[in-house]
């Protein structure tokens, strides 16, 4: 019982300490890795990897 409690505590501690990579896109918007931008009718449109699209020059209002 004592061993399993120590093991569980070690796993929880390691999981909390593991850093999560944060990728910021145009304008500081949070995006997933692999998200990209394309030129559409003279304006750059980006996707954030979550299924949302936004304009590169105005990332928070679109």
Cα of 35 vs its chain's centroid, Å: 10
Task: For the chain, give every domain's residue range.
Answer: 22-62
Output the CA torsion 21→22→23→28 (10° steps): -160
- For 3-46, give the DSSP string: HHHHHHHHHHHHHHHS----EE-GGG-EE-TT--EEEETTEEEE
Confidence of residue 18 (pLDDT cuts 50, 70, 90): low
What's the pLDDT at 16? 64
**pLDDT value of position 42:** 92
Run of H or E including 47:
strand 43-47
The pLDDT tens digits of the residues spanning 22-59 come to 777 777 788 888 888 899 999 999 888 888 888 888 87
């Amino acid at each position: 019982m004592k061993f399993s409690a120590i093991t569980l505590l070690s796993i929880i501690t390691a999981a909390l300490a593991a850093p999560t990579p944060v990728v910021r896109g145009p304008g500081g918007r949070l995006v997933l890795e692999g998200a990209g931008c394309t030129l559409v009718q003279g304006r750059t449109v980006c996707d954030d990897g979550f299924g949302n699209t936004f304009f590169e020059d105005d990332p928070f209002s679109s």
